[in-house]
Amino acid sequence: MKSYNVSFRKLSSKKIKLNSSKSESNRLLILKALSNNKIKIKNLSKANDTVLLNNLIKSDSNSVWDIEDAGTSMRFLTSYLSINKEGVTLTGTPRMKKRPIKILVDALNKIGSKITYLGNEGYPPIKIEQKVNQIKNSIAIRGDVSSQYISSLLMIAPTLGNGLFIDIKEPFYSKPYVDMTLKLMEKFGIKSTLEKNQIKINHQKYVSGEYYVESDWSAASYWYSIVCINNQIDKLKLLGLRENSFQGDKIISKIMILFGVKTQYEDDGILIKKSKSQLESIELNFKDCPDLAQTIIVIAAFMKIELKLYGVESLKIKETNRLLAMKSELKKIGCNFLDMNNHWILKKRKNKFPKNFILDTYEDHRMAMAFSPLASELNLKVNNPEVVKKSYPNFWKDLLKVGYEIT
């Protein structure tokens, strides 16, 4: 098993060119394919998930599409293939075969596709037996499991002969990701109406255009954490982020004001700076930004803040059950993370961090990156550090640039 020892040596570079947004890139690849390649994408993400999705679309296989561990690709390609291919199978890693797909498959089958399960019902692998022959243009779908089901349906909606009306049932989690999908579609000519969680898209054609992918705000969250935690780093410049971003995780810039890091917007990105925080306890709802939860939990653990978390149910069906993984790793550094049924609570840390911490990453990129800022506070060993390639392949290289040591 590969592992890294991570520590902080001395601040060197104060400027980081972040990776491009995986969320924007993955959506744009599907839109490009649906437009018959009329869309030109610049600054495409180098995240493993995006590279895999791009390669699969280019290969255009008529048999098996192996998604590996890319949950977004599984959901987006299920809809994309349902209007383009018959007789193809979508499969993935053992973990992927435990991640639910039933809500999306049910919706597509109601519209007029025929998709079957090759293993356990409700989970991959699945087979597109028959392309969509539209028999219905209105569906209701739960909004509390994965917004990617909704985004997946939205992107194919204009290609359907009768369009699509989607009624999203409350509670509606991760709505900013659906908003992002609609805004990107609008960039390429698609009009939609959104009222009271009901979205209507008529039959239309995607038009040609060009899009420059923004840097990734969820990746930026780890640098906010570093500025907060590392007492030798008082500011950092993060390149390629926009004040008028489509990404919901831009909310990190507001959340971190509470934890003592301010954001200054500049022409080529943002400058993040240490400020003061008097926080002792806080309640936060992550229903619109679940990917930020692990980062904020680690920051709260460092700052000895009691943190109540709501809206984190979707973390159970990510690369791992992130809530249980966090509970296990936080226990190693003397922190109690408790399930209170309708929310989770991080109790205020009473003792010093241990001298040594061996981090297990659970095949989850965000586990590795969320805990790494603690390397300035203790001797950190990260098991399976290569998991970061899923979303931020240059993460360890970027840590080296600012003065961390990795052996």
CA triplet 213, 214, 217: central angle to 5 degrees? Answer: 135
Specify burial of residue 170 (Cβ count, 10 A radius: 0-12, 13-18, 19+): exposed
Is 291 a residue of the active site?
A: yes
Specify burial of residue 161 (Cβ count, 10 A radius: 0-12, 13-18, 19+): exposed
Q: Residue 51's pLDDT is what?
A: 97
The catalytically annotated residue of 291, 360, 364, 398 is 291
Q: Residue 64's pLDDT is what?
A: 97
Give the separation between CA 292 and CA 320, rounded to whole angstroms.
Answer: 15
Three-state SS across 192-225? CEEECCEEEECCCCCCCEEEECCECHHHHHHHHH
Q: Residue 303's pLDDT is what?
A: 97
Q: 22-212 has which fold? A: UDP-n-acetylglucosamine1-carboxyvinyl-transferase; Chain (3.65.10)
For tokens 């990510």, the residue is: 318
Q: Residue 306's pLDDT is what?
A: 98
Contact 346, 336 (CB under 8 A): yes
Give the separation between CA 384 and CA 365, rounded to whole angstroms.
Answer: 10
Strand 138-142 relative to strand 126-130, pairing: unpaired
For tokens 């911490």, the residue is: 357
What averages of pLDDT result for each successive group of 10 residues across the chain (407 residues)?
Answer: 96 94 98 98 96 96 95 97 97 95 98 98 97 97 94 98 97 95 98 96 98 98 98 97 97 98 98 95 96 98 98 88 97 98 95 97 97 98 97 97 97
Q: Residue 284's pLDDT is what?
A: 98
On the question of a cis peptide bond just before residue 171, with omega within 30 degrees of 0, the verdict is yes
**Total count of residues recorded for the chain:** 407
Contact 354, 332 (CB under 8 A): yes
The CATH-assigned architecture of domain 3-18+215-406 is Alpha-beta prism (3.65)
| Best CA proximity match to 374, nearest among 7, 13, 14, 15 | 7
Phi and psi for 117 in degrees, rounded to 5? -95, 135
CA triplet 369, 373, 377: central angle to 5 degrees? Answer: 145
Contact 242, 214 (CB under 8 A): yes
Q: Residue 332's pLDDT is what?
A: 98
Q: How far is CA 67 from CA 72, 78, 82, 91, in A?
A: 9, 11, 16, 6
pTM assigned to the model: 0.94
Specify burial of residue 227 (Cβ count, 10 A radius: 0-12, 13-18, 19+): buried
Give the separation between CA 392 and CA 389, rounded to whole angstroms.
Answer: 5
| Best CA proximity match to 121, nearest among 95, 157, 97 | 97
Domain with CATH 3.65.10.10 in the chain: 3-18+215-406, 22-212
